[in-house]
Structure 1
Amino acid sequence: MDSVRGDLFDPQCPTRRLLDRIGTKWTSMAVKVLAEASPEEVRFAELQRRMAGISQKMLSVTLQGLARDGLVGRRVEATVPPRVYYRLTPLGLTLEEPLAALREWAETHMAEVDRANRRSPEATADHRKPAGTAG
């Protein structure tokens, strides 16, 4: 393991870019599906089926980023059409626990956050604006 540690509050630190990549709903969902299957692999089509609402392009971009970061392994079978399989790497497996905690928090507190959004002055002001007017 590298001894260099990031500093989120340093504007030049790559930690910020990493958090942007791993903090998306699609990354969290992909990691969950792959962690549940671990150590087995999951085909691209199965990932897309399990991640309702994700486009083929967005899934591809998400998996490419995770692979580039060393969090996901990719294997291609030379068939026609090619079969592409994904699995979490050991580093990727370490991401499942913190993302699971974040997913749990979001699912537990979503109703409270929704209520707060409905009560906020910004939501009330936006609601009162005539249709088609800018903010």
Structure 2
Amino acid sequence: MLSPPETDIVPELAGQAASAHAVLDKVGYSLFTGEAVTLVAEAGWTDLVLCGIATESCVLKSAADAFERGYAPWVLTDASASDAGSAVHDAGLTVGRRLIGPRQLITTEDLLARLPPTPEVPVLE
């Protein structure tokens, strides 16, 4: 199990984390810990935008878990990667297309084009 400083929020994101709706400690591959399940339900979120460092594991597992719980997961393909290389990242995206549907994998540009000017529900920053 990793511990600080490996698990610390990087300085480049510290400002955003300080003003975020929530910051969760993820202890496994999936976002869906008990704390996260409660947060998503209480916030009334129906769509979840996912990105991260391990497309083939953490991002994929969180997206599949969201889909199985009835949420609409959106995987940002250009804001995700794999520390195992681009071929593994691409493999994660291929599996993601099979598990949650090809339309759920989008770019950050696609996401920004879909967002309303002012969100009507709280979003994580």
Common fold: TM-score over 0.5: no
Flag the structure with more relative contact order, 1 or 2, with Cα contacts below 8 A and sequence separation at least 6. Answer: 2
TM-score by length of 1: 0.23
Higher helix share: 1
| Higher-Rg member (1/2) | 1
In the superposition, the TM-score normalised over structure 2's length comes to: 0.25
